[in-house]
Structure 1
Amino acid sequence: MERLASIDVCSGAGGLALGLERAGFDPVLLLDNKPIACETLRRNRPSWNILEMDLGDFDPTMHRQAYGVDLLSAGLPRVKSSATTKRVETGLELRLMKATVRLAHTIQPKALLVENVPDLVASPEFEEVRGYMESELACLEYRFHWFVLNAADFGVPQDRKQGVLVALRDRPYDGFQPPTPTVTRHMTVGEALLPSMSARGWTGAEEWAAQANRVAPTLVGGSDNRGGADLGLTGTKRAWAQMGINGAALSDEVPGLHGIQESDASGSPLRKLTVEQTATLQSFPRDWIFAGKKTARYRQIGHASPPPVGEALGRAVADALRSSASI
């Protein structure tokens, strides 16, 4: 089947782009302003055209291949509600949202895909943001699908809800259907991590896996400006503790024969996850390389869109585009 062309902005570690690649999209370029994220992308896909720059500085007239692509995709930094508008990052997040819409104005892709917080879809807190996006795109005759997906419904062992906007024109719009779940039973943390937890012969791995009998809480990368590599706020850490996991930090190694992790000096009876295990919970392939030190690698993983969700979205968009082309 003929491959489709895409542009991916705010690409991060490449979770959305990887899923779209599996769905039949080849990126003519990817863009991110973080050097560490661009290094990750280059290590895994040397053939991809990766631009390290701020989205607001991107001039598509210098990249003629960007015009008229099949899809513009954006896994944007999470916008915040009005309750947190005093945060410095909030202005940046909204600026990138608006820059994505302006880019769509310029290059006029056949479809636009934006992935963000679930509340973006219907919450009154984001009514102004939705209104801006729709009014700016409606003059180009785009029509809109707003919906929420949970990554757990697509085989990701994590309760991770994502708000999605898909905008298309006329015939593709009529043929688009939001993705339906690809699994009938959610994968648990124990099932996903048992192979790695037992890799060094830990005798308690099977018992631990039986206890970790639910999906993971949402992984969060945290702010680039503060904090270290932990698994979330107090309530989230309590949920991890119920599965035998110490969410206060990450380990450098999986448990050994007697469950000991040499890098863990906390004295806690709970086990810590490794960065590689968090990548498994985000459903990245085992051979996907994350650049940087431990905290930088974990933040890239926590901020990423799980590839299976990107693949499901990509297939839904591709089906709509191909069906309209055949009419």
Structure 2
Amino acid sequence: MTGGNAASAAAQGDIDQPQLTSLEICAGMGGLAFGLEQAGFAPVLLLDNRPIACETLRANRPHWDVRDIDILDFDPVDHQQVYDVHLLSGGLPRVKSPAAVARTRGDDAELSVLKATVDLVYGVRPRAILLENVPDLVRKSDYEPIRKVVADELGHLGYRFQWNILNAKNYGVPQSREVGLLVAFRGDLIDRFEWPRPHAGPWRTVGKTLLASMGARGWADAAKWAAQAEVTAPTIVGGSWDRGGADLGPTGAKKTWARIGIDGATVADQVPDADFSWDPVLGRPGLVPLTVDQVALLQGFPSEWVIAGRKTARYRQVGNATPPPLARALGESIATVLRDAGGDPIRVTGT
């Protein structure tokens, strides 16, 4: 994918109000940051501890200040441009429940990132916070101790907040993808906040989203395939950075992909050519695999978005990203509160 700067100019051209500032942590390939940019937020700094993700961010937005820094090592004293930003945002590593960590005798590295984020709030003092994580963090009782830690710390710092789960398919993404969310505001601004309303009209589908790319190399059955793929995609899973190759998810997801003629057990280097024979009766040999760029389209990225690295690293970035259209919807709801508040004093209660 190429030409990210053109997309940036177009997005910024649509914004006729003063931009709001943000600090993005665990930025990944920029799904959250791109959506927030479209909603009017200009990041003063973006952090990620994976060099390949930082490369992707810089390729698309050379003017963004991107740093390869682990949040556990980040000190805002050394980056004072982050003080008093309007928004602290991030798609944090998927937090495991305390029970799951105990069963596997695993570490709590993901929880450490969440705690470091709350600590960062103390140093930065943003007006608003937007954090994305697994839906189970919001709805399952196993996670209640973690939610309590977050509630106690944010309350102590003068923030009020709401948890929620939104599905990206309701916001223009051709994929059923539930996202756990925390939105917080300093003082009483949370009283003005409303979660974005689902888009009116039918959901976007896999077939319509991928039709043009499927036919790009002359595959004659592209339209035929797309006609039977008028469904929403199952959740795209990024998988572990530490092991395995690229595929579209667990066994159940692969079966769902197969029902619309897609081989979910692999990721292709190229879209089908004119000689490709599509015949689902043959099993995997007769199914069409998706490319990384096509998976990015199903995540809601524009075709121009550059993805750095080799295939598996590219796929990991895409699979773990926040869908930009969902990020934009959330950003617009948060921006409305911040802009309507204007210079109103922030009334902090209960501290």
Confirm or deny a common fold (TM above 0.5): yes
Task: Report the alpha carbon displacement of residue 175 of structure 1 after superposing the two structures with TM.
Answer: 1.0
Partner Cα separation in structure 2 for residue 193 and residue 217 of structure 1: 15
From 33, 50, 53, the counterpart of 1:37: 53
| 1:57 corresponds to 2:34 | no
From 334, 345, 348, the counterpart of 1:317: 334
Q: Helix, strand or coil: the match of 1:246?
A: coil
In structure 2, the residue matched to 1:239 is 256
Task: Report the alpha carbon displacement of residue 118 of structure 1 after superposing the two structures with TM.
Answer: 1.1
From 116, 137, 151, the counterpart of 1:134: 151
Native 8 Å contact 2:195 2:330 kept in 1: yes
In structure 1, the residue matched to 2:183 is 166
Please show how residues 204-243 of structure 1 align to structure 2 within 5 Å: 204-243=221-260
The one-letter amino acid paired with 2:48 is D
Distance 1:45-1:61 versus aligned 2 partners, 3 A rule: same
Distance 1:48-1:208 versus aligned 2 partners, 3 A rule: same
Task: Report the alpha carbon displacement of residue 89 of structure 1 after superposing the two structures with TM.
Answer: 6.8
Q: Which runs of 5 or more structure 2 residues have no equivalent in the other structure?
A: 1-16, 345-351
**Over residues 67-109 of structure 1, what are the superposed CA-to-partner deviations in whole Å (9 max), with x where a residue is unaligned?**
1110000100111234531558751111111111000011110
The one-letter amino acid paired with 1:24 is G
Q: Helix, strand or coil: the match of 1:132?
A: helix
| 1:304 corresponds to 2:296 | no
The one-letter amino acid paired with 1:152 is K
Native 8 Å contact 2:263 2:284 kept in 1: no
In structure 2, the residue matched to 1:108 is 125
Native 8 Å contact 2:126 2:186 kept in 1: no
Moved over 6 A (4+): none
Q: Helix, strand or coil: the match of 2:216?
A: coil
Q: Which runs of 5 or more structure 1 residues have no equivalent in the other structure?
A: none
Q: Helix, strand or coil: the match of 1:249?
A: coil
Point out the more displaced range, 207-216 or 51-60. 207-216
Distance 1:225-1:259 versus aligned 2 partners, 3 A rule: same
In structure 1, the residue matched to 2:210 is 193
In structure 2, the residue matched to 1:96 is 113
Task: Report the alpha carbon displacement of residue 260 of structure 1 after superposing the two structures with TM.
Answer: 5.0
In structure 2, the residue matched to 1:11 is 27
From 17, 20, 28, the counterpart of 2:44: 28
C-alpha RMSD of the superposition: 1.6
Identity %: 53
The one-letter amino acid paired with 1:9 is I
Pairs aligned (count): 323
- TM-score, length-normalised on structure 2? 0.89
Partner Cα separation in structure 2 for residue 141 and residue 33 of structure 1: 29
